[in-house]
Each structure stands twice: as structure tokens, then as C-alpha cells.
Amino acid sequence: MEAEAAKTLAMALAIGLGAFGPGIGVGLIGKGALEALGRNPEASGKIQSLAILAIAFAEAIAIYALVIALIIGFVM
């Protein structure tokens, strides 16, 4: 395997696997928020703000994976 092909494969694996977990996490956060809203619609403001914060933390992990993939591609 050539070095360029190995680097491309490493980039693809880094972003692919790095975005898989946060994608599932965001789905579970949304599911939990919708279930909570179904049980207690009066708490929608608090639930929405907490869900947005949790989604932002989950997406930060995907951004870290993107940064690692870019480092593999352009620095190594």
C-alpha cells in the first residue's frame, strides 16, 4: 500500500468513526428531549436549552475528529 493511499484511508476512518458516535448521541438526545416534552410540555424552555447544550457537546467531538482527519491529511 502506498503512503498516499494509507493517509487517505486514515483520514476516512478518522472522520467516519469519529462522526458515528456523536451522530448516535444526537439522536438519543433528541429522543430523550421529545419524550420529556411529551410528559411535561410546560418545561419546554428548560428541556430545549439543556438539549441544545448537550447537542453542542456531542457535535464538538465530531469537530475534534474532523481536526484529526485534517491533521493526518495536511501535516503528516
Q: What is the pLDDT along the chain (76 residues), one digit of tens a residue?
A: 798 999 999 999 999 999 999 999 999 999 999 999 999 999 999 999 999 999 999 999 999 999 999 999 998 7
Q: How many separate domains does the chain show?
A: 1
C-alpha distances out from residue 8 to 3, 15, 64, 76, Å:
9, 11, 18, 11
Instruction: List the CATH number of the domain containing 21.
Output: 1.20.20.10
The SS3 call for residue 25 is helix
Q: What is the pLDDT of residue 76?
A: 79
Domain span at residue 41 reads 3-74
Task: Report if pTM > 0.75.
Answer: yes
